[in-house]
Structure 1
Amino acid sequence: MTTAEPKRLILNLFEMNCVSHITHGLWRLPGNNRERFNDIEYWTELARLLEDGGFDAVFLADVVGAYDTFRGSADTAVREGLQIPSNDPLLIVPAMAAVTRHLGFGITFSTTYEPPFAFARRMSTLDHLTKGRVGWNIVTSYLPNAARNFGLDGEIDHDHRFEIADEYLEVLYKLWEGSWEEDAVVADRATGVYADPAKVHPIDHEGEHYKVAGPHLASPSRQRTPLLITATASPRGIRFAGTHAEALFTGGGTPEAVQDTIARVRAAAADAGREPGDVKFVVGAGVVVAATEAEARAKLARYQQYSSVEGRLAHGGFGFDPTAHPRDTLVRDVAGENGFGRRSRGPFSGDQTVGELLDALADLSRGPFFAVGDPGQVADAIESWLDDVGIDGINLTQHHSFDTARDFVEHVVPELRRRGRLRPAYRDGETLRERVHGGGDRLPARHPAARYRRTPELAVSRRTS
């Protein structure tokens, strides 16, 4: 009887090209480097640190609007540095790739406001430059201000955004997978032919939302289509993820909520003709670790002193201001119908007092995926997330740049490797898709993108269908 190998952790660092990403107020911590986000050296130093520590990827969040619901304006977000100012996540990837050989990059980009043709070329370019180390976190954008920034009076309906995204992906698949045949580039110096025009095809897409002629301007990159990631838990988003995603960035107030999302995505994948294992599940996780539990808890207490409740209220899109009411006021008496906002997560209810709500918001350790302690305690928690909850990986929250990553590399990585949860070393030449799924560079044939490939087998199936 053979013992099954332990499930290996997908290990990413959660980042954003801004001052305050999701740890509001902590940019003020002594020694924190967050204010250096405009400097290219911040990103190259971070990339080297992550690769030295064996991280699989850095996951780069993004938004294209300001958080302006709380108190009726963006003032709180601007004051807090809450994802404003922020810079484009795509543009820092070449710098990080240039100083690393293995680290992957998950890049957030929205399907709602910018057309697919130019984005297809940017991602193919990054896939070429990184030799296949990029993934795309597909989002549809949720901020009302984002809609106004692109000429709309208000947000596009949630489910309709996913309808647009489905067609967006169809255009991209045609460009990435079908426009150029595999052997189109011949680079024949003798004849002067670089690419065979008979093997480079327009896509002539005409749909409800997009009209794109093609051909794709970039030749086939290592992965062709980057690793596809989504971040959702809504019913329409679950169906979208089941169709397209290779990894899902998800979360929930309880382990059971995450398990429910996992089950629903796997069922949606099966409905789309895919295998349940075609999608990996990654959660946002907080870790505060030190050589001893006492040191780790002291560190968490220091972090806690800088945590900004107002930043959390603005980020959550709260429709009322709890700080304007006495702490013993019941939330239901002052919140109103939309008081919690669509982005506020956690065990919040109208039965709480305002003081209880504010204390919960300020608590950095809230949520099911937080671990504080010595290396063994943290590794125990991560193993429980993998084995008992059923996740596949974590996006590690940066409480302190770069101490969060350094602490994890120094204390947790060796322990996880000892337990077989992290590989001892990278495999040379591996693409991000290979690393996450253990297969080849390209999407499997059962993925819907494969129907746009130009192969003899698919040509026959098109003629007979």
Structure 2
Amino acid sequence: MSPSKNRIILNAFDMSCVGHQAAGTWRHPASQASRYNDLDYWTNLAIELERGCFDALFIADVVGVYDVYRGSAEAALHDAAQVPVNDPFAAISAMAAVTQNVGFGITAAVTFEHPYLLARRLSTLDHLTKGRIAWNVVSSYLDSAARNIGMDRQIAHDARYDLAEEYMEVVYKLWEGSWEDGAVRRDRASGVFTDASKVHPIRHAGEYFKVPGFHLCEPSPQRSPVIFQAGASARGRRFAAKHSEAMFVLATNPQTARTLTDAIRQEVAEAGREPDSLKIFALLTVVTGATDAAANAKYEEYLDYASAEGALALYGGWTGLDFSDLDPDAPLTAVENDSLRTTLESLAADGEAWTVRDVIRKRSIGGLGPVLVGGPETIADQLEAWVDDGGVDGFNLAYAVTPASTTDFIDFVVPELRRRGRAQSAYKPGTLREKLLGDAGGRVRDSHPAAQWRSHYKGRESVADASRPSPFETGTKNHTEAAE
């Protein structure tokens, strides 16, 4: 690969459901989306992604339903628009077992997962995958999710980020500080598996969480998983500048992307981190074929299966607006609410006034992101423009029809990107963090806020300090000896 050209990072974007970003295309004869309950669907997808040297499979998630459109979840259920939806964690181990290098970015909401438990789940997967795990940190945006865990409504947008800040502190303490390097000895001769003097309770007592104890897992290959984040609001960007190592953004074209990526990297520098310590991905859907004509014919065919109702159900959840109440030909305007604030802002960022009909026509397949249609050279030209002019490092590639969209991209576009020196043809060794950021060792950089906890507890209270004398060491008889 030419050193003068940046490698384009490729992530597949999926969700453990039938209809993710492309509403209605599950009905297409080539679609296997309805097999989302079949483990073979996921293992085959992972194998295919590794064939194309994709960096990661990014798995989205929601724990609520899209019930804003027409005041009901009926349209979402009818079209399988992100419901039914399964737990994104369940298939990871199986996918890891049939691959060696592709990473897995898993979505989990800080508002609904306790940090003590989520830290264990992510550490477990990081162990089982040999360091191929990323966590997409989200704060959730659906009122239906909040109501079903006993809340009256979703926490206000900026307040969710306040909670998320403390959440990150808790998990960093658990992952980076609770267990010292060398705590796990596995010493058969002495019989010591873990040196308790090197395991520390974190004693966290904050506004939202109390976690007095130590992490349940020994340190995993990365300790902290790679931190992904998707919020691009002003508050979300501040959070990303501090915590994220990979971020995905919404933009309609490379020009609007450049404004966003420049601002994000400036905020990363202001947060005291290296600008290259955060990789930025744009969300795109690619429809491709051997030629432009073949790709365009395929796209027109896919549009025949697209669902307007499903698209509006999704956009209702993303924006908090009931599109059934709006004039379909009136320009849409962004509103302040507690949903995904940047959704409508991203549509209007290039000065174009979108209408409800525009959303149906342009995004019933693309969902939150644009659709690129063309043969290998056309698509490669456009992807290079997004990277070189737009300033992104790579893409989260949604599907129009699964797994055909992924296979087409690998068969048609990846060879062209490799010919241009923009896509990898083999994986670098190491963990997901090492592959994405190029850092040796797989640990967070010293400039990352997690790093401050690495030696914070060393020399302080340990589990051994609280231990009472053993009866075997003091000469006190144990129960067996007393009985004799």
Normalising by structure 1, we get a TM-score of: 0.91
RMSD of Structure 2 on Structure 1 (CA): 2.7
Partner Cα distance (1:126, 1:145) in 2: 29
Does the CA contact (< 8 Å) of 2:21 and 2:366 recur in 1?
no
Change (3 A) 1:367 1:76: closer
Give the 3-state SS of the residue equivalent to 1:346 in structure 2: helix
Distance in structure 2 (CA, Å) of the matches to 1:199 and 1:355: 61
Q: By how many angstroms is 1:401 displaced? A: 1.3
Question: What are the Cα deviations for residues 44-69 of structure 1, in whole angstroms up to 9, with x where unaligned?
Answer: 11111111111111000000100111
Aligned length: 451
Distance 2:313 2:340 in 1: 10
SS of residue matched to 2:389: helix
Shift in Å, 1:346: 2.5
Alpha-carbon distance, 1:380 to partner? 1.1
Could you tell which deviates more after superposition, 62-71 or 3-12? 3-12
Aligned to 2:432: 432
Question: What residue in structure 2 maps to residue 209 of structure 1?
Answer: 208
1:463: which partner in 2? Answer: none
Does structure 2 retain, via aligned residues, the 8 Å contact 1:319–1:341? no
Q: Which amino acid aligns with 2:437?
A: H
User: 1:382 aligns to what?
Assistant: 383
CA 1:232–1:129: 2 relative to 1, 3 Å: same
SS in structure 1 of the partner of residue 18 of structure 2: coil
Could you tell me which residue of structure 2 aligns to residue 454 of structure 1?
455
Residue 249 of structure 2 corresponds to 250
Residue 306 of structure 2 is matched in structure 1 by 307
Q: Aligned equivalents of 1:160 and 1:445: distance in 2?
A: 28
Deviation, structure 1 residue 352: 6.7
Q: Does 1:117 align with 2:119?
A: no
Structure 1: tracts of 5 or more residues without a match: 461-465
* Contact 1:369/1:385 (8 A) holds in 2: no
Distance in 1 (CA, whole Å) between partners of 2:216 and 2:368 is: 45
Determine if contact 2:141/2:340 at 8 Å carries over to the other structure: no
For the residues of structure 2 that align with 1:232 and 1:114, how far apart are their CA atoms?
Answer: 18
Aligned to 1:90: 89
**In structure 2, what is the Cα distance between the partners aligned to 1:5 and 1:132?**
29
Q: What per-residue deviation string (whole Å, max 9, x for no partner) do you get for residues 78-104 of structure 1?
A: 111011100010111001001101110
Distance 1:386 1:352 in 2: 25
User: Counterpart of 2:240?
Assistant: 241
Residues 59 and 105 in structure 1, CA contact (< 8 A), matched pair in contact too: yes
- Partners of 1:45 and 1:240 lie apart in 2 by 35
Partner of 2:398: 397
Matched residues in 2 for 1:203 and 1:372: separation? 52
> 1:323 and 1:131, CA in 2 relative to 1: closer, same or farther beyond 3 A?
same
Mapped to 2, the partners of 1:176 and 1:15 lie a distance apart of 27
**Greater Cα shift, 224-233 or 349-358:** 349-358
- Give the partner amino acid of 1:439: D
CA distance in 2, matches of 1:353, 1:269: 34
Amino acid at match of 1:319: L
CA shift digits 1:372-405 (9 cap, x unpaired): 2211111111111111111001011111111111
Secondary structure, aligned partner of 2:168: helix
User: Structure 1 residue 319: deviation in Å?
Assistant: 3.3
Q: Does the C-alpha gap of structure 1 residues 341 and 175 become closer, same or farther in structure 2, counting only changes over 3 Å?
A: closer
**What is the letter of the counterpart of residue 346 of structure 1?**
L
State the Cα distance separating 1:337 from its structure 2 match. 10
1:290 to 1:335, Cα distance in 2 relative to 1, 3 A: closer
Shift of 1:351: 6.9
Q: Is the 8 A contact 1:320 1:336 kept in 2?
A: no
The 5 Å alignment of 1:351-370 reads 355=357, 358-362=360-364, 364=365, 369-370=370-371
Distance in 2, matches of 1:24 and 1:375, equals 25
* Cα gap change, 1:203 to 1:58, in 2 (>3 Å): same
Q: How does 1:54-69 map to 2 (within 5 A)?
A: 54-69=53-68
- Asked whether the equivalents of residues 24 and 80 of structure 1 are also in contact (C-alpha less than 8 Å), the reply is yes
Comparing 409-418 and 222-231, the one that deviates more: 409-418
Q: Aligned-pair distance for 1:297?
A: 0.7
- Pair 1:415-2:416 in alignment: yes
| 8 Å CA contact retained: 2:250, 2:368 | no
Partner SS, residue 29 of structure 2: coil
Residue by residue, what CA displacement relative to the aligned partner does 1:245-295 show, whole Å, maximum 9, x if unpaired?
001111123433322222222222222211111111001111111111111
The answer as to whether partners of 1:136 and 1:229 remain within 8 angstroms in 2 is yes
Matches for 1:263-342 after TM superposition, within 5 Å: 263-317=262-316, 319-322=321-324, 330=330
Paired AA for residue 186 in structure 1: R
Q: Is residue 2:2 matched to residue 1:9?
A: no
| Structure with greater Cα Rg | 2
CA distance, structure 2, for counterparts of residue 171 and residue 335 of structure 1: 34
Paired with 1:243 and 1:269, the residues of 2 have a C-alpha distance of 7
The Cα of 1:361 is off from its aligned counterpart by: 4.6
CA distance in 2, matches of 1:335, 1:205: 39
The answer to whether the aligner puts 1:232 opposite 2:231 as a matched pair is: yes
2:422 is paired with a residue whose SS is coil
Q: Distance in 2 between matches of 1:222 and 1:236?
A: 31
Counterpart secondary structure, 1:20: coil
SS at match of 1:106: strand
Higher mean C-alpha deviation, range 286-295 or range 220-229 = 286-295
Question: Structure 1 residues 175, 367: closer, same or farther in 2, change over 3 A?
Answer: closer
Q: Is the 8 A contact 1:20 1:83 kept in 2?
A: yes
Residue 173 of structure 1 deviates from its aligned partner by 0.3
Distance of aligned partners of 1:451 and 1:350 in 2 relative to their CA distance in 1, 3 Å threshold: closer
Any gaps of 5 or more consecutive residues in structure 2?
461-484
Deviates more, 1:259-268 or 1:177-186: 259-268
Once residues 232 and 354 of structure 1 are traced to their aligned partners in structure 2, the CA distance between those partners, rounded to angstroms, is 23
Letter in 2 for 1:384: A
**Partners of 1:237 and 1:380 in 2: CA distance:** 31
CA offset at residue 301 of structure 1?
0.6
Query: 1:398-437, CA deviations, whole angstroms, 9 ceiling, x for partnerless residues?
Result: 1111111111111111111111111221134x21101110
2:475 counterpart residue number: none
Q: Could you tell me how far apart the structure 1 residues matched to 2:204 and 2:158 are? A: 22
% identical equivalent positions: 47
Higher deviation after alignment, 289-298 or 252-261? 252-261
